[in-house]
Amino acid sequence: MSQARTRRRVVSTTMTALVGVLSGLAVLPLVLIFGYLVLKGASSLNLEFFVGNPVPAGQAGGGVAHAIAGSAIIVGLAALIGLPVGIGAGIFLAEYGSGRLGWTVRFVADVLNGTPSIIIGIFAWTWIVRPQGHFSGLAGALALAVILVPLVARTTEEMVRLVPHALREAALALGYPRWRTSLTIVVRTALAGIVTGGLVGVARVAGETAPLLFTALGNLNFSTHVNEPMQALPLQIYVYATGPFQEWHRLAWAASLVLILLVFGLALVARRVAVNRYGAR
């Protein structure tokens, strides 16, 4: 009797410990990846890296200014197009989404969130690149916007739903029409959360490579024309990482470090905002 009891207790303790150890193992890659990025990339982060453009293949030096500018333009445009649509759809889901249409939109948004980004890439190619006859930063921006919309819609919905019902009722009771209640009371209250969701979404699409392969294509020169092929940081990392030159590999590590610092930084900001606003999660 007590032997069985001891055995059960040992099993419980062992499994608890095992689960803890495996959890540690699961986040170990993050530590390793970040460690290697710092180790191999940090020493290359100098002025030339940020303001220089690529030098001919095989030569030492050069920078990724063209890719940083390209990424900023492409991602900025994507946010400009995708955020309003996504936020609008999100507000719809939270405010009017209790019926069948709401269920469908929610479901479709989740399914789209799981769609491989490369598929969105070929979609943008058929809709913009092929009819226009040339690759462009704009096509890349649209591909990223398409990815952004369902992401932002869902986070916006969650944030708007967190607003206490009493606030809405108070506004309506004071004679506010529904649209003003929704915009100036409910959405206004959830604004910090919505912005956070938007930031996280933008950070995510900023790291996307696959949808840019046949839209923005990449460009070895500094270009700010959205109607021409444009370089982006993730695209440049892909080219440099898979290329044959040591110098390229060095730049790929450095560019990856920059990219990941950007993404992690935004995630940290987002977390701070969310925690301040809604307390511990």
Residues 41-80 that bind other proteins (CB under 8 A): none
CA–CA distance, 122 with 138 (Å, rounded to integer): 14
**Range 113-132, binding other proteins (CB under 8 A):** 113-123, 125-127
d(CA 140, CA 227): 10
Asked if residue 267 binds other proteins (CB under 8 A), the reply is: yes
Q: How many residues does the chain have?
A: 281
Closest CA to 168 of 237, 109, 242, 94: 94
255 touches 237 (CB < 8 A)? yes
Min separation Cβ 126 and other proteins, Å: 5
CB under 8 A: which stretch of 47-55, 72-80, 136-144, 247-255 binds other proteins? 247-255
Short-list 199, 197, 205, CA closest to 266: 199
105 binds other proteins (CB under 8 A): yes
Nearer Cβ to other proteins (27/47):
27
Q: Which is nearer to other proteins, 180 or 225 (CB)?
A: 180
Q: How far is the CB of 275 from other proteins (least distance, A)?
A: 9
**168 part of the interface to other proteins, by CB under 8 A:** no
CA nearest 70: which of 203, 202, 217?
Answer: 217
The interface with other proteins within residues 184-243 (CB under 8 A) comprises 200-201, 203-204, 206-210, 213-214, 217, 234, 237-238, 241-242
Give me the long-range contacts of 96-104 (CB less than 8 A, separation at least 24): 97/157
Q: Are 34 and 253 in contact (CB under 8 A)?
A: no
Interface stretch with other proteins, choices 12-20, 48-56, 57-65, 72-80 (CB under 8 A): 12-20
